[in-house]
Amino acid sequence: MANGKVDFFNDTGGYGFISTDDGDLDDDEDVFFHMEDVGGPDLEEGQEVEFDIESSPKGPRATNLVRN
């Protein structure tokens, strides 16, 4: 699993992006997530999370996301 921090969260749309130091990603590439992959209360910017990364047509996407 990868570790990162919520860099951006859109409460209205229920999606956001996570910044991570995962070596498999480009340095400036953030990981997309949707609240359907999280469950529970909304995440907040700056919150630390743990997640798996899967490829999607639009770039990396976080799955199995858990709050730290």
Domain boundaries, the chain: 26-68
Rounded-to-integer distance, Cα 35 and Cα 15, Å: 6
pLDDT digits (tens, 9 = 90+) for 14-66: 999 999 986 666 666 899 999 988 877 888 999 999 999 999 999 999 999 99
Q: Tell me what pLDDT residue 65 has.
A: 93
Mean pLDDT score, 1-21: 93
pLDDT given at position 29: 83
Cross-strand partners of 5: 19, 48
The pLDDT of residue 18 is 95
Q: Which residue has the tokens 């859109």?
A: 10
Cα-flanking dihedrals φ and ψ of residue 37, to 5°? -90, -5
